[in-house]
Structure 1
């Protein structure tokens, strides 16, 4: 064997050893990832089963479309306020608790938890605005509630504008809490539903939430309520029902673009004073009230969930506005 041939053989042997080492490292990494995902998945299953036993009932169930929809009623006022949550608010009746406590001395407050939210059942029915609105309305019909002010957070601005046009004889006013506007930019984007589905089913969502910090830190919620909301968030966030709703967000916004609020309907928007995420946030809402006989936009210094920190102010503004509208 020549010197050149010996050198080639040594180089080939060395390359083979390096390749084998790399393959072993890659194999170890793959095994580690599989083990990690397996542990995350099993931990999530065990935790979910454990939490399911700790979640406490509140409110009452109403039969809608053959399923149970949960509704919390508080207060005995002559006038009724119906609260509708924003998208992805896992436990609406608890999330609205601070606001409900401020409103209930003066109003009968009805917090509706749509299918897939709070303690309500899941559903396979498409989460179109039409279906969501008709289901909420049916729940109120079952409770014999036929005259009320509709108050909604975030995406409830989209469902609400459809609702008040379908049931104008029932709704006495609409109040938006940093509510969405059909023409706001960016709502035609396709959302990563499949990715969120993977995070949910794999258990990685629980891990991400755990290291994301406490969303209720510094707020006035008591410890027990926070614990319940966190458990319901683990249960409901990115469930099949809410992911179906996520997949319909773009089309629901598009369909709402042809709608306007009735001119004679009292209209109050309580919105962020400084929303850096949506261009023209204040003008968008001012446009919605321009033809209203009694419309008002009030800006507030707070985050998107204004009712977490400004419940007292919201309640005062609502009472003052409704007194003006009479």
Structure 2
């Protein structure tokens, strides 16, 4: 069940998982949100609709999927350097179309700020922008409780916990669903995820200071349900305001929860193709 679906590359003395699929003159890099235990399978419903035309890469950060769990600094420079190194080790060259979900939106924006020549565009999958974190409550004690329960095996006694959006609403096969559940039991609220959550407000501040990068952007925005903690109106207003002075950015509102790529994968894939064209 836990045989890596992609390849493992060595990054700073640890193994990081990188999955690739398809071929084409554009390379899409999918970047997962906080706590998504299996990024490769979480994004599959969407990227499987794109890989016949584009090259797809999913980088599983430390603490996620088939990558090693590390207890190290999760400042945004470190996270970005690890992602870039993993892609380099896997032979996946820039420029990239970054496809971040949720918290990894900060990493994508920072990437475009620091290395604009490497970022062809950003396709935000209900991605975070810095202003969200001015008001967001990061509940570390709840995350630690999840870590404790997973370590004791308590989560195995509540099967519904493992039924992710990808399992319930996506297009995963039965075998892929079983693999997803196995990864969930192993990678729930890892110490790396908790370290990331502790650092996220500071990371958001770093990104905010540098302003909005002037790369083409297409932002898909959910209705705010599914764990964001915001009302629909507030959730949608923040990214709209963020791109309001951008000369090449647009947004598309979707009436579905936060993990939009597990619900509206068909429409998103069609809109992405139009955006790239």
For normalisation by structure 2, the TM-score amounts to 0.89
1:109 is aligned, of 36, 53, 56, to: 56
**Counterpart in 2 of 1:89?**
36
Across the aligned residues of Structure 1 and Structure 2, the Cα RMSD in angstroms comes to 2.0
**Within 5 Å, which residues of 2 pair with 1:80-229?**
80-142=27-89, 143-184=91-132, 185-187=134-136, 189-192=138-141, 193-207=143-157, 209-212=158-161, 214-215=163-164, 216-229=167-180
Structure-2 separation of matches of 1:171 and 1:111: 15
Indicate the structure whose relative CO is greater, using CA pairs within 8 Å and at least 6 residues apart. 2
- Relative to 1, partners in 2 of residues 1:55 and 1:76: Cα closer, same or farther, differing over 3 Å? same
Gaps of 5+ in 1: 1-53
1:274 and 1:238, CA in 2 relative to 1: closer, same or farther beyond 3 A?
closer
Deviation, structure 1 residue 147: 1.0
Larger Rg: 1
In 2, distance between residues paired with 1:166 and 1:90? 28
Kept in 2, the 8 Å contact 1:188–1:250? The answer is no
Instruction: Sort the Cα spacing of 1:170 and 1:224 in 2 relative to 1 into closer, same or farther, 3 A.
Output: same
| Pair 140,213 (structure 1): closer, same or farther in 2 beyond 3 Å | closer
Q: Which runs of 4+ in 1 moved over 4 A?
A: none
In 2, Cα distance between equivalents of 1:293 and 1:211: 44
Three-state SS of the structure 1 residue aligned to 2:20 is: strand
1:24-45 CA-to-partner distances (Å, cap 9, x unmatched) read xxxxxxxxxxxxxxxxxxxxxx
- Give yes or no for contact 1:272–1:302 (8 Å, CA) kept in 2: yes
How many residue pairs were aligned? 268
The secondary structure found in structure 1 opposite 2:175 is: helix
TM-score by length of 1: 0.77
